[in-house]
Structure 1
Amino acid sequence: MRANLCSLTFLLALTLQITYTTSKHLAERPSFLNPCDYNGANFDKCFADNFQLLFSHWHDGVPGLKSLGSLDPLSIKRIKIQQDSGATLNIVAELENMLAYNASKAIVKKATLDKSNFEVDATLELPALYAEGNYKVKGTVLGLNINGAGKCNLEAARIRLNFHLATKLRDEGDLTFSDIVSLKAKILEIGDFHIDVQNLFGGQRDLEATANDLFNQNWRELFGILSPTLEQTLELVLKDRFTKIYAYVPATYFISNMPRASEFYG
C-alpha cells in the first residue's frame, strides 16, 4: 500500500551532559591510528580502516572528551513522532530513555574522501541492533486503534546504511582539524525487524499480542512510512557524535601529508 506522508515532526535530545573537556584536543595520537598517506596509492582502504576505529576502539568514548558519552550502549533521551499517513498510520508517539546496543559492531564497508572538498561518503553494515526504553502512543496503526504507555523493545538485523559528511578544514597551531558542516544519512536496507510493545491496551495481553503480531507481520510497510523519521533521527545522533570527535581529534592523526586549511582554501 502506498501511503502519502502528510505531516512529520520529531524532537531528539541526547542524554549527553554538556561539560568541558580538560584540553581543546586529543594531545597524542593513539597507537592504533595509522595516518594514511594523503597521496598514497592505498589511501581509500587505509581511510576506511581508520574510520572503522571510530566505532570499534572508541565505543566507550574518546579519552578526555567528557561530552561524548558511549556508543554502546547509545543513550537517546527522547524521540517524538507525529505522523498522519491515512488509514495505515496516524499516531502521536514518544520514545524516552532509549538504550541502543551493538552500534560499536558496525562494519565500515566503504569510506572515501573527496579531496576536492573534503567530503566523506561511507557505507556501513550493522549485523544486529537491539534497543529498549519507554513509550507513549495514541492513534491508529494498520486500522487498529491504540492508546498505551509502557516498556518497548525492538530488534533489527542486517542493517545497511549510507551517510555523507561535509567538512571544513581548520588550522589550530601546528594541527589541522576537519570540522563537521553537515551530515546526511540514508537507511539502504534492513533484513529483519521485530518489536514488542507492552501495556498497549492497559494490560489486556491477548489484544497486546495480536497488535504486536500485526506490527511484526507488516513491519516493511510501516518502516517504509517511518523511514524519514528514522533517518533524520539517525542524522542527529551521528552528527552530534562526529562533530564532537572531529573537533577534538586532529585530522592529521588520521591523514599524513594533508594540506593545511590555509593552503587548501588559498
Structure 2
Amino acid sequence: MKCAVYVAVLAALVGGSLQAALKLPSYLKPCSRSDPKLNDCALKNGIAAVPSLLKGDAKYHIPVLDPFHLKHIDIAQGTGPVKISLALDDVDIKGLKNVEVKAVNFDVKKKEIGVDLVVKGQGLTVDSKYKIDGQVLILPITGNGNVNLKIENPEGSFKVSYDLVKKEDGKEYIKLRDSTIDFSLSKAIFDFKNLFNGDKALGDNMNVFLNENWREVFTEVKPVLSEAMRTVILQILDQVVTTVPYDQLLVA
C-alpha cells in the first residue's frame, strides 16, 4: 500500500524553536523516576493536566487543542479498494475536551513512553473544506465543498522512544526518536457536500454508500490518518521535552 500524508500545522505549533531552558509548566506536575509507582503518578498528573493543555500555552508553542485547527491535510491513497486523492483545508477538530487518559507507561531503562487515550461523549467531529477524486470500493467519487466527519468512541495508543542529550547549558534534555500510534473507533459517519458537481441524488447515494461501508474505508485510509495524528502529537510533545530539562520532567 502506497500512501502519503502532508500535514501543515499552525505556525504557533511548529514556528521557531525555543532556545532557553524553561521551567515545567505549573499544570504539569513532575514524578520521580525512581518511584516504583511512576506510572500511577504519571497517570494521575496527566489526567489533571488535560484541561490546561486543551487551552493551549503560547509560551511552549502549544496551540488551543479544542477546537484544534490544521491548515491542510493531503491524502493520496493509490492502491487497494480505496484509490483517492483527498485534500482537506481549514480542518477543525472538535471534541478533544472529552479526552480521557487511560494509562501512562514510562520505561526509564529502555527510554520509552506510552500513553493510552480515549475520547468519551460524542467522540470527535471534523469540519473541513475538501476536494476529492478517485474510487471507493466499486464506485467513482469526485467533488469539492464542505465535509463533516463524526468519529465515535475513538481510542488510541501512542508510544515513543527517546535519547538524553546534553545541551550547551550542561543540562540533559529528552530527544524524541521512533514513535508509533494505533487507534480504533466504533463508527465513522461521513457527510460530503457537493459531490459530483452538486448532483444531489448521486451525492446522497455516495454518502449512504460510504456510511454503510465505513469499516472498509477506514481500514484503507487508517495508515494515512495515523501518520497525520502521529506527526501532530510529536510536534506538541516536542515543544515541552526539548525546552524543559529532563530532571524537571522526571526528578531523581
TM-score between the two structures when normalised by the length of structure 1:
0.84
Q: Distance in 1 between matches of 2:187 and 2:76?
A: 24
Q: Within the alignment, does 1:80 sit opposite 2:74 as a pair?
A: yes
1:238 is aligned with what amino acid? I
How far apart, in 1, do the equivalents of 2:190 and 2:244 lie?
37
1:68-217 equivalences in 2 (<5 Å): 68-86=62-80, 88-127=81-120, 128-171=123-166, 173=169, 176-187=172-183, 189-217=184-212
Per-residue CA deviations over 1:160-194 (Å, capped at 9, x if unaligned) read 1111111222345475432322321111x201211
Query: 1:114 offset after TM fit, Å?
Result: 0.8
Shift of 1:54: 5.2
Matching of residues 43-62 of structure 1 within 5 Å: 43-53=38-48, 55-62=50-57
Q: Please list every run of 5 or more consecutive structure 1 residues that lacks an aligned counterpart in the other structure.
A: 258-266
Whole-Å separation in 2 of the counterparts to 1:232 and 1:251 = 27
Instruction: Let me know the Cα RMSD of the aligned residues.
Output: 2.2
Relative to structure 1, the CA distance from residue 220 to residue 121 in structure 2 (aligned partners, 3 Å threshold; closer, same or farther) is: same
Q: Is the 8 A contact 2:166 2:172 kept in 1?
A: yes
Amino acid at match of 2:164: L
Q: 1:22, 1:64 within 8 Å by CA — same for their partners in 2?
A: no
What secondary structure, in the 3-state scheme, does the structure 2 residue paired with 1:97 have?
strand
- Matched to 1:200, the amino acid is L
> How many angstroms apart in 2 are the aligned matches of 1:232 and 1:126?
19
Q: 1:29 to 1:197 in 2, by over 3 A?
A: closer
- Give, in angstroms, the shift of residue 251 of structure 1: 3.6
Deviations 1:76-105 (A, max 9, x none): 12221222334x322111111111112243
Structure-2 change in CA distance of 1:50 and 1:85 (3 Å): same
Q: Which amino acid aligns with 2:93?
A: A
Structure 2, unpaired ranges of 5+: none
Q: Which amino acid aligns with 1:216?
A: N
Pick closer, same or farther for the CA change 1:34–1:236 going to 2, 3 Å. Answer: closer
Instruction: Compute the TM-score of the two structures, normalised by the length of structure 2.
Output: 0.88
**1:140 is aligned with what amino acid?**
Q
One-letter amino acid matched to 1:181: R
SS of equivalent residue, structure 2 residue 86: strand
| Structure 1 position 53, deviation (Å) | 4.7
* Native 8 Å contact 2:84 2:135 kept in 1: yes
Which amino acid in the other structure matches residue 239 of structure 1?
L
Structure with the bigger percentage of helix: 2
Query: Which residue identity is paired with 1:180?
Result: L
Residue pair 2:163, 2:177 contacting (<8 A) in 1 also: yes
2-structure distance, mates of 1:9, 1:21? 26
